[in-house]
């Protein structure tokens, strides 16, 4: 049997050769019988370590003692089973002005300099993730030992920042500077083997060999990673200037400077000071403090916090361990595979046995994309059971129906399930366009029936709408919310309104784009307008991606239930569907997908008017959803739109963006568009009442 994590963590108190290991702060320190010093970060009242001002000050105090009586080697590690450290305390940082930030960072840098300058070898032992400031602390050590499964990353760019605790200086000094810049510019994480290949991890080992590995370092048996040829090449300013030009061009393709200044600032610092660590450190501090004050960073931090808000919306422990999925098509297969990977026992049924086979392949693929090792992949596949006869329904705590989008077929499925499903189990449907309340006729228990609307692809889109109809009990909703969190997805509670929240808001935007094509606007120009606004892909590409048949289904169903706002469904959409050009899945829609991706939009340009014509109908639908109580509040709405559609996160969400422009301005713009283009732009009363 495996020993519990805590047993491996550090030598037990008994072995700590008489040294103390006080436990009232965030750090504990003690020496073991081999005179190795163990400095364990274990933040009080938190399940995850973050690096705050107080954590660094306390580290500084420990360094007083360690400098005075150095151990043979000093080990830094985490006392949390969750991982090494998740990064800086972003809540505290977000409240500071530029001057306070610069002062705090200078003090923090001084502490890491002390750590770096210790006379004994220093070793960061990393299990789980070392991110942001956590990784930067590990970079200030002489060696890094990675436990299998460890990962290292500097994701600050996702918050509109770059590393601020010496990462911009130490990572390019440690590994190939181009790889270091790549990691910081993309925010991507290096998993164990990759980290070793890059030279971030000096040793990769199992938890049980950590003590032996630290002793080997203390005895001088492990060579420290040496900077390679590339490091020397880029100490020349001319080489950095050339490489920086290339980097800027690459970044420009994905993140224009006026929306995302941080990567450009990072390139600038490296190009200018890459051979002078002191100057680079000063520039890093000044630039970080400045970036933290930008609207982009404030809004990206807002998006980060909204993610926490959605997670905390789910109260209580999840009591759902067994899940039965009905229908193994595009969605059912993904839901089943994802659920199994996240630890649920999953059975999946479908009359089409080939679909069940594909579900297993899908699970293996999802594990690969999530960098699961072969043990974790095997465990996932063990938990996922193809179940052609649907026996799993008897034992499941939750049954998710993901059959065809047809009320009669769904009614049949529910009637069949009613005979099998166990008392107390929840039945949920993944329908995107049907009225949930109208599906209750054959369900076994209406109070335990709800919508659980996952988005495609489930492993990439974190949001799930938990849809209550009139009779769904609060307990059912709460259990479903907790279930979503337990499978690492973000739940938002919505009501059973047409299109729920996300499709209701997205559809007017997609349809306006298709109408613009009908009017003769080139599709590339339309997509360019949305990309320039900051959407992750243009609406025409998105429609192709979702599937034009699905768009047509949702549009028609919304049209029936929403008088006026969706007065038409563009003829072009019907024509495409009739011709069988359904988008990506058939190789052709509005774009040609035969090579896997559509021909990229070239040098199309877009005007502000065009952008408003696309974005304002979406904002107006959001306002309507708030007025009708489809979603509880603006923050939930903004979070849902960011995490389901990728709505320009640097704008903080659609309602935050509307508030930035002013509700009065939005109202006036909609009125002008209504005059020009008709009733679909008529402003929702919400704007006037909340102006």
Catalytic machinery residues: 453
* Residue 132: both structure tokens together: 């942001």
Tell me the H-state helices in 385-522: 407-418, 474-486, 502-518
Q: Which stretch binds ligand NAD (CB under 6 A): 325-333, 420-428, 537-545, 640-648?
A: 325-333
Which listed residue (73, 184, 363, 402) binds ligand NAD by CB under 6 A?
402
Q: Is 582 in the site for ligand NAD (CB under 6 A)?
A: no
Stretch that binds ligand NAD, among 54-62, 171-179, 401-409, 575-583 (CB under 6 A): 401-409
Smallest separation, CB 334 to ligand NAD (Å):
8
CB of 287 to ligand NAD, least distance (A): 41
Six-digit token string for 226:
């040496």
Residue appearing with tokens 């032996």: 212
630 contributes a contact to ligand NAD by CB under 6 A: no
Query: Residue 170 and residue 444: Cα distance in Å, rounded?
Result: 61
Instruction: List beta partners, residue 51.
Output: 88
Contact status: 431 vs ligand NAD (CB under 6 A): yes
Applying CB under 6 A, the span of 131-139, 346-354, 571-579, 665-673 interacting with ligand NAD comes to: 346-354
> In the complex with ligand NAD, which residue's Cβ is closer, 83 or 499?
499
CB of 129 to ligand NAD, least distance (A): 30
In the bound complex, what is the minimum distance in angstroms from residue 560's beta carbon to ligand NAD?
16
The verdict on 351 binding ligand NAD (CB under 6 A) reads: yes
CA distances from 208 to 36, 148, 213 (A): 16, 11, 10
Give the residue with the Cβ less far from ligand NAD, 267 or 335: 335
Compute the least distance from the CB of residue 297 to ligand NAD, in Å: 33
Among 142, 176, 350, 397, binds ligand NAD (CB under 6 A): 350
Would you count residue 405 as binding ligand NAD (CB under 6 A)?
Answer: yes
Report the site for ligand NAD in 101-120 (rule: CB under 6 A): none
Among 71, 153, 177, 327, binds ligand NAD (CB under 6 A): 327
For ligand NAD, the closer of residues 246 and 412 by Cβ is: 412
Q: Does 413 bind ligand NAD (CB under 6 A)?
A: yes
Contact pick of 409, 447, 567, 579 for ligand NAD (by CB under 6 A): 409
217 vs 436, beta carbon nearer ligand NAD: 436
Q: Which of residues 535-554 bind ligand NAD (CB under 6 A)?
A: 546, 550
What is the rounded CA–CA span in Å between residue 83 and residue 72? 25
Q: Does 451 bind ligand NAD (CB under 6 A)?
A: no
> Considering only 134-142, 165-173, 376-384, 409-417, which stretch makes contact with ligand NAD by CB under 6 A?
409-417
- The least CB distance from residue 556 to ligand NAD, in Å, is 13
One-character DSSP codes across 476-492? HHHHHHHHHHHTT-EEE
Q: Are 619 and 654 in contact (CB under 8 A)?
A: yes
By beta-carbon proximity to ligand NAD, the closer residue of 550 and 606 is: 550
- What lies within 8 Å, CB to CB, of 443 at 6+ separation is 414, 417, 418, 427, 449
**In the complex, least distance from residue 378 CB atom to ligand NAD, rounded to whole angstroms:** 26
How many Å apart are CA 101 and CA 462, to the nearest integer?
32
Query: Taking the CA of residue 620 as centre, how many other CA atoms within 13 Å lie in the half-sphere pointing to its CB?
Result: 28
**H or E segment to which residue 453 belongs:** strand 449-454
Q: Are 534 and 648 in contact (CB under 8 A)?
A: yes
Longest dimension (CA), the chain: 83
Residue 516 · residue 526 · CB < 8 Å: yes
The one among 88, 183, 243, 330 contacting ligand NAD by CB under 6 A: 330
Residue 332 makes contact with ligand NAD by CB under 6 A = yes
Closest alpha carbon to 204 in 149, 265, 140: 149
Element (H, E) at 38: strand 36-41
CB 169 within 8 A of CB 191: no
Min separation Cβ 397 and ligand NAD, Å: 19
Q: Strand 449-454 vs strand 463-468: parallel, antiparallel, or unpaired?
A: antiparallel
Q: Can you tell me the distance from the alpha carbon of 655 to that of 622, in angstroms, rounded to the nearest whole number? A: 7
Q: What angle do CA 387, 390, 394 make, to 5 degrees?
A: 115
Task: Catalogue the long-range contacts made by 240-244 (C-beta closer than 8 Å, 24 or more residues apart).
Answer: 240/177, 240/270, 240/271, 240/274, 240/275, 241/271, 243/178, 243/181, 243/271, 244/268, 244/270, 244/271
Contact in structure between 534 and 650 (CB atoms under 8 Å): yes
Please select the residue that binds ligand NAD; options are 147, 331, 425, 562, rule is CB under 6 A. 331
C-alpha to C-alpha distance for 103 and 289, rounded to whole angstroms: 9
Nearer to ligand NAD, 156 or 405 (CB): 405
Instruction: Look at strands 27-31 and 36-41 and give their pairing.
Output: antiparallel
- The nearest distance, CB 325 to ligand NAD, in angstroms, is 9
Q: Which two tokens stand for residue 380?
A: 């996932």
Closest-approach residue to ligand NAD (CB): 329
By CB under 6 A, residue 299 contacts ligand NAD:
no
Q: CA 410, CA 340: separation in Å to the nearest integer?
A: 24
Provide the minimum distance between the beta carbon of 278 and ligand NAD in the complex, in angstroms, as a whole number: 53
Contact map string, positions 455 to 474, toward ligand NAD, x by CB under 6 A = xx------------------
Size of the site for ligand NAD (CB under 6 A): 27
Select the residue interacting with ligand NAD from 362, 430, 472, 559 (CB under 6 A). 430
- Nearest residue (CB) to ligand NAD, 129 versus 333: 333
Task: Give the range of 123-131, 184-192, 212-220, 327-335 binding ligand NAD by CB under 6 A.
Answer: 327-335
Question: From CA 570, how far away is CA 576, in angstroms rounded?
Answer: 10
DSSP code of residue 225: P
Give me the phi and psi of 43, to 5 degrees please: -60, 135
Interacting span for ligand NAD (CB under 6 A) from 133-141, 281-289, 408-416, 603-611: 408-416
Radius of gyration of the chain from Cα atoms?
27
Q: Which stretch binds ligand NAD (CB under 6 A): 234-242, 396-404, 576-584, 604-612?
A: 396-404
Nearer to ligand NAD, 61 or 406 (CB): 406
Q: How far is the CB of 348 from ligand NAD (least distance, A)?
A: 10
- Residues forming contacts to ligand NAD in the complex (CB under 6 A) are 326-332, 349-352, 355, 402-405, 409, 412-413, 430-432, 454-456, 546, 550
């Amino acid at each position: 049997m495996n020993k519990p994590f805590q047993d491996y963590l550090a030598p037990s108190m008994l072995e700590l050769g008489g040294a103390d290991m006080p436990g009232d702060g965030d750090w504990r320190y003690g020496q073991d019988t081999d005179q190795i010093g163990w400095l364990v970060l274990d933040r009080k009242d938190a399940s995850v370590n973050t690096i705050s001002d107080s954590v660094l000050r306390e580290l500084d105090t420990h360094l007083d003692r360690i400098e005075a009586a150095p151990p043979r080697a000093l080990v830094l590690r985490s006392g949390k089973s969750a991982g090494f450290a998740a990064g800086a305390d972003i809540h505290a940082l977000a409240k500071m002005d530029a001057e306070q930030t610069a002062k705090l960072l200078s003090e923090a840098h001084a502490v890491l300099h002390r750590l770096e300058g210790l006379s004994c070898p220093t070793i960061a032992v990393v299990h789980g993730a070392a991110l942001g400031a956590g990784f930067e602390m590990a970079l200030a050590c002489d060696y890094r030992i990675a436990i299998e499964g460890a990962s290292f990353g500097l994701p600050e760019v996702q918050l509109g920042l770059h590393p601020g605790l010496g990462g911009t200086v130490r990572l390019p000094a440690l590994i190939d500077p181009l790889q270091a810049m790549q990691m910081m510019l993309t925010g991507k994480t290096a998993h164990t083997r990759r980290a070793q290949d890059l030279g971030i991890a000096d040793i990769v080992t199992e938890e049980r060999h950590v003590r032996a590995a630290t002793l080997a370092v203390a005895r001088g048996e492990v060579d420290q990673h040496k900077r390679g040829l590339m490091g020397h090449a880029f100490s020349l300013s001319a080489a950095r200037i050339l490489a920086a030009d290339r980097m800027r061009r690459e970044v420009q393709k994905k993140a224009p400077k006026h929306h995302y200044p941080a990567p450009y600032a990072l390139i600038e610092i490296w190009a200018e000071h890459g051979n002078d660590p002191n100057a680079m450190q000063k520039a890093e501090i000044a630039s970080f403090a400045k970036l933290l004050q930008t609207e982009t960073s404030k809004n990206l931090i807002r998006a980060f916090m909204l993610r926490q808000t959605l997670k905390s919306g789910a109260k209580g422990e999840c009591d759902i361990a067994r899940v039965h999925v009905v229908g193994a098509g595009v969605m059912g297969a993904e839901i089943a595979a994802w659920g199994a990977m996240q630890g649920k026992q999953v059975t999946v049924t479908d009359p089409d046995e080939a679909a069940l086979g594909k579900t297993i392949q899908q699970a293996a693929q999802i594990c690969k994309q999530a960098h699961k090792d072969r043990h974790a992949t095997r465990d996932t596949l063990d938990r996922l059971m193809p179940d052609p006869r649907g026996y799993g329904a008897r034992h499941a705590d939750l049954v998710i129906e993901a059959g065809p989008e047809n009320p009669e077929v769904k009614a049949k499925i529910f009637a069949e399930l009613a005979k099998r499903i166990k008392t107390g189990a929840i039945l949920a449907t993944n329908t995107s366009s049907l009225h949930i309340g109208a599906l209750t006729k054959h369900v076994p228990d209406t109070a335990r029936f709800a919508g659980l609307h996952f988005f495609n692809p489930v492993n990439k889109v974190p949001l799930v709408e938990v849809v209550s109809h009139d009779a769904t009990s609060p307990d059912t909703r709460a259990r479903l919310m907790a279930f979503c969190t337990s499978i690492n997805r973000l739940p938002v509670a919505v009501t059973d309104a047409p299109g729920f929240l996300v499709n209701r808001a997205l559809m007017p935007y997609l349809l306006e784009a298709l109408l613009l094509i009908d009017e003769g606007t080139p599709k590339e120009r339309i997509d360019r307008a949305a990309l320039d606004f900051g959407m992750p892909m243009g609406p025409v590409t998105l429609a192709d991606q979702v599937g034009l048949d699905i768009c047509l289904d949702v549009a028609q169903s919304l049209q029936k239930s929403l008088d006026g706002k969706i007065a038409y469904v563009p003829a072009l959409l019907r024509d495409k569907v009739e011709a069988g050009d359904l988008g990506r899945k058939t190789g052709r829609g509005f774009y040609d997908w035969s090579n896997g991706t559509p021909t990229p939009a070239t040098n199309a340009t877009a005007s502000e008017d065009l952008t408003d014509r696309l974005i304002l109908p979406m904002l107006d639908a959001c306002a309507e959803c708030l007025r009708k109580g489809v979603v509880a509040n603006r923050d939930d709405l903004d979070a849902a739109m960011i995490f389901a559609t990728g709505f320009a996160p640097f704008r903080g969400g659609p309602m935050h963006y509307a508030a930035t422009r002013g509700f009065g301005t939005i109202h006036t713009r909609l009125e002008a568009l209504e005059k020009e283009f008709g009733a679909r732009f008529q402003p929702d009363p919400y704007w006037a009442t909340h102006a």
